[in-house]
Chains A and B, each alone.
Chain A
Amino acid sequence: MWRRAALFFLLATCLVAQKAEPLRIEFARGKSSAVLRGHLRGHQEMEYSAAARENQTLTLNLSASPAGGLKLKVADAGGTEVAAKNSTSQRWAARLPKSGEYVITIIRTSDRPQTSTYKLTVTIQ
């Protein structure tokens, strides 16, 4: 009982705000790809950001477990969505219209109760 009370106290005293900004993708030096992993539940969304130059091609490959239930969205710094040249729920690719920061969002659309685990490969070339 006291353990539960201690845990409650610990949680109650450790509330911290999470940054309301996309996580910046860090590419290893000399690499054009990065692999990101995470999990989403409910209708959660995960945001990443990356800088790219005009006419570079951004390619996203998404795998999820259980399969499906996730979708990808890419927007420029002003919030304008970038249309993919070829897009499925697992793959998104487009030549970027301008230099700048882009926000990549993974959106969970499934109504199933379990958590979706994902692996996202981001390539900018």
Chain B
Amino acid sequence: MAALNLTDDLRAEYKNLFDNCRINSNRIAVVDRIVTTAVANQLRYESVGNGLGIPWYFIAAVHNMESSQNFSQHLHNGDPLTARTVHVPPGRPATGAPPFTWEQSATDALTLEGLDGVTDWSLTGLLYRLEAYNGFGYRRRSLPTPYLWSFTNNYVKGKFVEDGKFDPDAVSDQAGAAAILRRMVDKGIITIDDTAEEEPVPDAAAIAALAADITFSNSERSDAAKKLQLALNRIPGISLKPDGIPGNKTSEAVKSVTGDFLRGDPRR
């Protein structure tokens, strides 16, 4: 699956959905409890987010989606901190030894997604990153993702009930991230800038520097390769799946920017 680029059309879609988002009346009390807990832990979210340039409320929303605000679980997927992750993405954090602190796990999860390099935390940038964190699988079915819109008028049914398994009749029991943010905005707890900030487009030298330590492979996965893919995706016309595998498409994208394939590519 190619990565989904944040186009003007997609920004308009997010803005329209958020502007017209209403929390279902029978779910407001649940959302309020989540918001109260998130605010109570704001400093802890900031202790991770400030160093990475990520707003605390983004981390708070992900924390609720991935581990029901439980600080003894990985931010990647809710697996226990007493071991590396088992579910997607497995084997995280790749370095260090368990048990991990929540801060260690959260930092790993956020950097793994390349979120430490993001500068666009506008409303639409925020919603895009939240959807990307979970995956764009709902779009293949033309459905609004419950990861954002559950408990609001924008969502009815359809849910991934296991990693990779979709059930068209299942209904999410979790408050969507956008529902939580909508409530925070409505209560005056946060304000989210509506103005989209263009992310800096990396130049050839920046891509060459990121590619310098990466060897072409169709099977070996690495965090460095994922960072390269995320950087390449900021360049107009390039759309890679950020899976961390520096294979044919990644190498071709590097060549289109720097003039040369990745080291080890037989086409070099």
Check B164 against A22 for contact (C-beta < 8 Å). Answer: yes
Decide: A45 and B68 in contact? CB cutoff 8 A. no
Q: Is the CB of A19 within 8 A of B2?
A: no
Contact of B68 among A13, A20, A23, A78 (CB under 8 A): A13
- Knowing A20-B137, A22-B137 are in contact, say whether A77-B160 is a contact too (CB < 8 A): no
Q: Does A120 make an interface contact (CB < 8 A)?
A: no
Contacts of B1 in A (CB 8 A): 21-22, 49, 77, 101, 103
Q: Is the interface of B mostly helix, strand, loop or mixed?
A: loop
Chain A contacts with B in 27-72, Cβ cutoff 8 A: 27, 29, 38, 40, 42-49, 51, 53
Query: When the two chains form their complex, are residues A43 and B77 in contact, meaning their CB atoms are under 8 A apart?
Result: no
A interface majority secondary structure? loop
B53 within 8 A of A: no
Q: A13-B70, A16-B67 are in contact. Are A21 and B78 (CB under 8 A)?
A: no
Interface residues of A (CB under 8 A from B): 13-24, 27, 29, 38, 40, 42-49, 51, 53, 77-79, 99-101, 103
Q: List 21 A-B contacts (CB under 8 A).
A: A15-B173, A16-B65, A16-B68, A17-B66, A17-B146, A17-B174, A18-B165, A20-B134, A20-B145, A21-B163, A22-B164, A23-B88, A23-B164, A40-B165, A43-B167, A43-B169, A44-B165, A44-B167, A45-B166, A45-B168, A47-B164
Beyond A17-B134, A21-B1, list 15 extra A-B contacts (CB 8 Å): A18-B163, A19-B137, A19-B160, A19-B164, A21-B88, A21-B164, A44-B161, A45-B165, A45-B166, A45-B168, A51-B247, A78-B2, A99-B248, A100-B249, A101-B1
